[in-house]
Amino acid sequence: GLGLAFSVVILISGLFWEGSMDFLMLAQYSFTQKETGAIQLAQALSPQAIMEVQRLPGVIEAEGYRNAAIKVRYENREETTSIKGLPSKARLMGMVDKDLKELKLPEDGIFISRILSRQLDVGIGDIIEIEFLEGKKPTLQVEILNIVDSLMSNEVLTSRRSLARILQTDDFVDRILFRSYSDSRILYTRLKEMPNVLSVTYRDSVSKFFNDNSAKFILVFAFILALFAGAIGFGVAFNSMRVALAERDWELATLRILGFSSPEVFRILVGEIALLMFLFLPVGWLLGFFNAQWIVSQMKMENFELPFLIHPDTFFWATFILFISTAISGTLIYRLVTKLDMVATLKSRG
E-strand stretches of 160-301: 173-180, 197-202, 300-301
**1 SS3 class:** coil
Q: What is the DSSP letter of 102?
A: B
Q: Which helix (H) or strand (E) holds 49?
A: helix 48-54
pLDDT tens digits, 248-297: 766 767 776 777 777 777 777 777 777 877 888 899 899 999 999 898 88
Q: How far apart are CA 55 and CA 62, in angstroms?
A: 9
- Within this chain, do residues 163 and 217 fall inside the same structural domain, yes or no? no
Q: How far apart are CA 142 and CA 126, in angstroms?
A: 8
- Asked if residue 190 is part of any domain, the answer here is no
- Within this chain, do residues 162 and 101 fall inside the same structural domain, yes or no? yes
- Within this chain, do residues 331 and 215 fall inside the same structural domain, yes or no? yes
Answer for the pair 107, 162: CB distance below 8 angstroms, yes or no.
Answer: yes
Q: What is the DSSP letter of 211?
A: I
Last residue of a domain, one of 180, 202, 219: 180
- Within this chain, do residues 241 and 292 fall inside the same structural domain, yes or no? yes
pTM: 0.69
- Asked if residue 41 is part of any domain, the answer here is no
Give me the domain span that covers residue 294. 2-24+210-349
- Within this chain, do residues 152 and 240 fall inside the same structural domain, yes or no? no
- Asked if residue 236 is part of any domain, the answer here is yes
Structural domain count of the chain? 2
- Asked if residue 335 is part of any domain, the answer here is yes
pLDDT tens digits, 49-78: 999 999 888 899 999 999 999 999 999 999
- Asked if residue 198 is part of any domain, the answer here is no
pLDDT tens digits, 325-337: 888 888 887 777 7
Comparison of pLDDT for 54 and 304, the residue scoring more: 54
Q: How far apart are CA 34 and CA 178, in angstroms?
A: 9
CB neighbour burial string for 324-337, b if at least 16 within 10 angstroms, e if fewer: ebbeebbeebbebb
- Asked if residue 40 is part of any domain, the answer here is no
HEC sequence for 151-194: CCCCCEEEEHHHHHHHHCCCCCEEEEEEEECCCHHHHHHHHHHC
Is residue 343's pLDDT more than 70? no
- Asked if residue 33 is part of any domain, the answer here is no
- Asked if residue 92 is part of any domain, the answer here is yes
Q: How far apart are CA 145 and CA 222, in angstroms?
A: 38
